[in-house]
Amino acid sequence: RFKISSVRDSSIRKLFSTEHMEESRTLEILKRLNRIVMILKLLVDQVPILETMTPLDFMDFRDFLSPASGFQSLQFRLLENKLGVKTEHRVKYNQKYWEVFASDPQAVEKLAATESEPSLADMVQKWLERTPGLEVDGFNFWGKFQESVEKLLSDQEASANEEEHENVKTYRLMDIEKRREVYKSIFDASVHDALVARGDRRFTHRALQGAIMITFYRDEPRFSQPHQLLMLLMDIDSLITKWRYNHVIMVQRMIGSQQLGTGGSSGYQYLRSTLSDRYKVFIDLFNLSTFLIPRGSIPPLTDEMQKALNLAWGSPVHRAKQLNGAFH
C-alpha cells in the first residue's frame, strides 16, 4: 500500500509540474490526494489487528523476519522522499537511511532519483507562491494583513491599558507583546528565513503568504479547491504520523524498549524519535492557526479582487488574464 501511495504521489507531482494549473487538473489532484488519504487510513487501522497477538506469539515467528525491518522498507522511503522529507530533517542514525539498500543498486538509484527531483512539498510551494492577490502592485494582501494585525494588537493594547487591576494589566500587555513577536516571525522575512534555516519552518516566505491568504478567503469560489487541497496535505501528514505512532506502540508492546530491531536499528528508541515534527512535511500548514485573526479583522476584498475570485465572473480567458495564470 505504501507503493500505491507512492505511485499516486508521483502522478500528483506530474500534474503539479506545469506552471499554469487548470481547475480540472486541481480536481484530479484532489481525487488522487483523497485516494492516498483513504489508503493511509486503512494502514493506520490495520495496526490494532496486529496488536491482537501476544508478545510470545510474535516471538514464535520473529526470527523468520530477520534481518528485514521497517527501516529497510524501500517503498516507505520512496514515499517519504516524494512527499518532501529531507535528509537534513531525518533523525541521525548509525547509518544513512539508504545504506541498508547498498546491495541493491536499483533501489539506491530509485532513492537517489527521488532525492534529486522536486518533491510534492517543493511543487506545492511553487504553486502557493502564485496565489492571486499577493502582488504588491495589486490587491497586496500581505500589506493589508500586516495593517489589520497591527490595528488589532493596538486596540487590544489600548483595552489592556484601561484595566484597573495592575496584575491583570501587566499580564495582558505581556501576552500582546508575545503575540506581536509571533507575528513578526512571519512579517519579517529575515526572521522567517532564519526559522527555515533552523528547520522550524519549511515553506518559502511567499508560499506561507499564499497559504495564509487561501485560509482567510477559503469561502471564495476560486479558493475553495485550493483550501481543500491544503487540508488533504495535512491529512496525509497526520495519518503518516499516526501510523508511526501506532507502529511505535506495537513495537514496544511486542519487544519492549531495549531490544534492537530485526534490521539492527535501535528498535523502539529509533522509531519514537521519528514522531517529532522534523518528519512533518507540511508542518507550516498545521501552524497557520497561530497567525489567524478574527473574521471581522480580515482585510476586505476589493471589488476587483472579489470578481477575480468569483468563478461565475467573466469568460475563462478573461479570468485567466485577471488571475495572472494562478490556479489555471
Reduced to 3 states, what is the DSSP secondary structure of residue 131?
coil
Which amino acid is residue 299, in one-letter code?
P
Q: What is the average pLDDT score of the chain?
A: 86
Summarize the confidence of residues 93-103 as an average pLDDT: 67
Among 124-128, 201-205, 254-258, 262-266, the minimum mean pLDDT is found in 262-266
All three cell numbers of 58, joined, read: 510474535
Q: What pLDDT, on the 0 to 100 scale, is given for residue 318?
A: 45
* DSSP per-residue letters across 170-185: HHHHHHHHHHHHHHHH
Q: Which residues of 244-264 are buried (b: 16+ CB within 10 A; e: fewer)?
A: bbbbbbbbbebbeeeeebbbe
Q: What pLDDT, on the 0 to 100 scale, is given for residue 88?
A: 86
Contact indicator for 222, 308 with CB cutoff of 8 Å: yes
Question: Does residue 103 surpass a pLDDT of 80?
Answer: no
Question: Does residue 175 surpass a pLDDT of 90?
Answer: yes
CA–CA distance, 208 with 206 (Å, rounded to integer): 5
Q: What is the pLDDT of residues 205-230, one digit of tens each?
A: 999 999 999 999 999 999 999 999 99
CA–CA distance, 301 with 171 (Å, rounded to integer): 35
CA–CA distance, 52 with 59 (Å, rounded to integer): 14
Domains of the chain: 2-142+185-322 (1.20.58.480)
CA–CA distance, 47 with 53 (Å, rounded to integer): 11
* DSSP per-residue letters across 209-268: HHHHHHHHTTTSHHHHHHHHHHHHHHHHHHHHHHHHHHHHHHHHHHHTTTSPPTTSS-TH
In Å, how far are 264, 267, 273 from 92, measured between CA atoms?
15, 14, 10
Question: Does residue 191 surpass a pLDDT of 90?
Answer: yes
Contact indicator for 184, 190 with CB cutoff of 8 Å: no
What confidence category does residue 89 fall into, taking pLDDT thresholds of 50, 70 and 90? confident
In Å, how far are 46, 50, 57 from 61, measured between CA atoms?
19, 13, 8
| Dihedral sign of CA atoms 10, 82, 125, 208 in order | positive
Contact indicator for 248, 240 with CB cutoff of 8 Å: no
